[in-house]
Structure 1
């Protein structure tokens, strides 16, 4: 896993601007601490930072392909292609010769053989920039589910690109400006495809190819979810899900570095850990390494709340014993999560205010930091809820019928509302309800339709679509930024496009055939798990219940208010901030109040640290 950066400018010779490319590439050193490289053509500059996972000695980048001493193309690439060995054999049969064992070279040679149609053959998580020397053309390509990030900023005669906004912001032609549309993206728990928050910044959409040539910039969607008739019966469907999962995990446990699994004791992570243990055992390897996170005294002092009904710790222990995992529990002190240096590290990793989920950002950072001390690659159960229908809003009729994003309905929306401390006049000017209506209408308008589908299945297909294209992207971003900030590669087997396509087209009555969440996943994997986990109800990633954390947030906000130079002050409702600070900790909905606190603090740090011009 790596970080990439670069730009194309057809109006000038860029070969003399090594300092600019170096500055851009060095912002990606967290994503690629093992090696770096730069490559130049007259109108193209490509940079790379490498985290070595496959072929530790041979996969250096940017990587070029030559013929008769002439360079044909150059690739800067991040990610993993899990079917690279099959593709390599096919390319060798077509006469290609390889210098390395890396999947990077397979992607490069695959482009020479199939052109941009190569993308339809790739199975994996990836983002890359490829400069075709012969055509003088740049391709920017992102994987189907958007596991790996890729951004770009159009220039009058080219484009600047990078794995993260910070790489692009390091280019002198890119302003640090945020307009009203960008602020709306920050304040609402909605991620608009292709919107990069900073003015003029775009994100390559999952499954999209962006082409930049002398004639300008064009985009092509090479993959998207499609509606297809599901003809398999229930038993066949359950069997197919199991076969897909076994194949997916067997591919994703391949690495030339230590590999582990993130384990919460929930169904999703337990399935992945159990399958990894099975796959490693079949290869004569193992035991599987697993890692869990908890807060000091949480296991003994856990209190049920509206989101989390049970503590993770007992279920983690059950799975560890069941599969014989080599397990490490990582304990986090809640008070540390408010530490200014830790929160600054999170902000630098994200390039945006780390508002929603609050303490989950720094706790994930600390978890991944600890995992990185023992493993370079980790498997995660991320996105199973979106694929199989695991969230409570899939079963809440108010949320199902609401004409808005289901995670923003009354049943759950208060946990994702970070606007409670902001000035009503600003909210009216931004027209957040109108923004939500437009965003939701856009998502529903994209949802593929199946002729003859029942009204219930049509509605549940829409629910699945908005979760798979809007909500899961926020989780994948969080996972990617926090893991890559410490040089850890996290793989997400449930994002394999074959599984996503198959389950997306499975009727809702099959997905919930036993009346519970994730019925198909449970039925397909129950034999791998202890009964306690098979029967466990969905419980999200843990959040601290320690009131000391909220008190630390309040103290930080009080300091912001006392500093007349705090850039967030003009955006806040002073009376509401005063009311909150005067209210005893725990007197109101802690999670709700914390969302507002987190947003105000995060936005203040972001505006200040990134020297942003707010143009609203």
Structure 2
């Protein structure tokens, strides 16, 4: 995803402040597109008929379907199947809308600026906290599965699966249904226009994911899976990952780091 920094409702539109915001954006790790957009998106959508039929109307916060039915962001966000964080701005009335994916795969934070009054502060959105801490009186994690609208001034949960109430499941355990759901979830995430690989520790979780991918690639006659493992010299992960990779026949890479390497990376990572 791209790095996101959006500053909304800010009273100071001077060139000096714009330069300051651009400088803040350089703190972010831009993982895809380079540069900065004041209104940004970082979205990976798994195409479905519903998503393909949605079109954003320019200069609005409205989407239209193939049947010409207008949808506001509140209406369409639960139709998205993927991982995303985005900010939409309606340039007609300067209202805005922010949303984050169901479980928070993409990172997103929200803050309220030190400018203005307690009831009318600017709103800052960033994919990393380091874009907010200098200019916000208060900032927090943008809750996964939520949306924020300037018109209501608050959060609303858009992701409401049946299990979210955390009630004890009452459905019978069906292992084949569970297996099919896992396979479908893994294969769906292989839809990409760039090369992909798997981080392989040799444990149960990563090994199962690697198995599903390898079987899918065999059926589709695609290229071999590339697997990667990172660890300290002599770590059990490196040994176990090598054994799994040899069994599955992946193109395997292992990378070593030292304790000092980890310490040196803290500033960049955090």
Other-structure match for 1:347: 267
Secondary structure of 2:201's match? coil
Deviations 1:383-430 (A, max 9, x none): xxxxxxxxxxxxxxxxxxxxxxxxxxxxxxxxxxxxxxxxxxxxxxxx
Show the 5 A alignment for 1:78-477.
Answer: 78-82=42-46, 84-91=47-54, 96=55, 109=63, 113-115=70-72, 116-155=74-113, 156-169=120-133, 173-174=135-136, 200-213=138-151, 217-224=153-160, 225-227=164-166, 230=169, 232-234=171-173, 237-296=174-233, 298=234, 311-338=236-263, 342-343=264-265, 346-350=266-270
Largest Rg, 1 or 2 = 1
Secondary structure of 2:227's match? strand
Extract unaligned runs of 5+ from structure 2.
114-119
CA change 1:212–1:158 in 2 (3 A) is farther
Secondary structure of 1:293's match? strand
CA change 1:110–1:245 in 2 (3 A) is farther
Contact 1:6-1:24 at 8 Å conserved across structures? no
Deviations 1:260-281 (A, max 9, x none): 1000111000011111112223
- What is the deviation of 1:334? 3.6
- What is the deviation of 1:131? 0.9
- Using the size of structure 1 for normalisation, the TM-score is 0.38
Contact 2:2-2:33 at 8 Å conserved across structures? no
Contact 2:133-2:139 at 8 Å conserved across structures? no
Other-structure match for 1:22: 22
Secondary structure of 2:107's match? coil
Contact 1:140-1:204 at 8 Å conserved across structures? no
Contact 1:249-1:279 at 8 Å conserved across structures? no
d(CA) in 2 for partners of 1:321, 1:110: 50
Contact 1:130-1:139 at 8 Å conserved across structures? yes
d(CA) in 1 for partners of 2:143, 2:17: 29
Contact 1:6-1:21 at 8 Å conserved across structures? no
Show the 5 A alignment for 1:487-566.
Answer: none
Secondary structure of 1:169's match? coil
d(CA) in 2 for partners of 1:249, 1:218: 34
- What is the deviation of 1:168? 1.8
Higher relative contact order (CA 8 A, sep 6+): 1
Other-structure match for 1:7: 7
Deviations 1:515-553 (A, max 9, x none): xxxxxxxxxxxxxxxxxxxxxxxxxxxxxxxxxxxxxxx
CA RMSD of aligned residues (A): 3.0
CA change 1:8–1:222 in 2 (3 A) is same
- What is the deviation of 1:289? 0.5
d(CA) in 2 for partners of 1:123, 1:227: 22
d(CA) in 2 for partners of 1:144, 1:315: 32
State the aligned residue count. 254
Point out the structure with the larger helix share. 1
CA change 1:200–1:335 in 2 (3 A) is closer
- What is the deviation of 1:151? 1.2
d(CA) in 1 for partners of 2:216, 2:15: 48
- Using the size of structure 2 for normalisation, the TM-score is 0.81
Contact 2:2-2:34 at 8 Å conserved across structures? no
